[in-house]
Amino acid sequence: MKALFRLLFLSLALLSFVGDQASKYGIFRWLYNDGIGDQKQVVDGWFCLRADYIPNGPEGDCALTTWSGKILPRVNKGALFGLGNEHEHRSNFFFACVSVAAAVFIFVWGFRKAGPKDRLLTFSLGLILGGTLGNFYDRVVFGGVRDFFDFYKIGFPVFNVADCCLVVGAFLLLTQAIFFTKPEQAPASGEETKTAFAVQS
């Protein structure tokens, strides 16, 4: 049974990672628009899908290879929802290192805890691992994270599928900690032990 939940943990992580990368490559290709970028309204006046590119950007390690050649996508070098993006290269390197450490920790934790008694924990860690790896891939390949969900009406930071996996996973992890973690029973004090012994006698 434990092996089944470990498989579930790894499958969720893989699906989250693949879904994130497929959506990024798909959206940025769809909205390529000859390297200019574009946006498609999903809810008029509120929400759109967008892909931004750097006009006449240099080709290099961060270039996105498309059917039309290589182009440099505009990326978020900061953390979740653009936090720390103003520091650019230092931020990207720092958060890439944090992603590696987090991925290793979550992988070990997920393998140890995956089981019937920790279903919610298994789901949450699988989503968090997949989201972490999705954004880490972007940091290594593109020098930053590709974002495309834009709730521009409320000025919310642009985000992606990996961010969604991280937020949902964190919410499930918090739910597990608050509602499904049984408190450890405190050991009986000396007086309680004596009373119990007297009753048994």
Catalytic machinery residues: 147, 163
Other CB atoms closer than 10 Å to residue 6's CB: what's the count?
Answer: 17
Other CB atoms closer than 10 Å to residue 175's CB: what's the count?
Answer: 13
- Residue 25 identity (one-letter amino acid): Y
Other CB atoms closer than 10 Å to residue 12's CB: what's the count?
Answer: 22
Q: Taking each helix axis from N to C terminus, what angle separates 89-113 and 119-142, rounded to the nearest 10 degrees?
A: 150
Q: How far apart, in whole angstroms, are the C-alpha atoms of residue 114 and residue 17?
A: 19
Looking at the DSSP assignment, which residues form a beta bridge with residue 145?
76
CA atoms within 13 A on the CB side of 131: 21
Structure tokens at 160: 């992606």
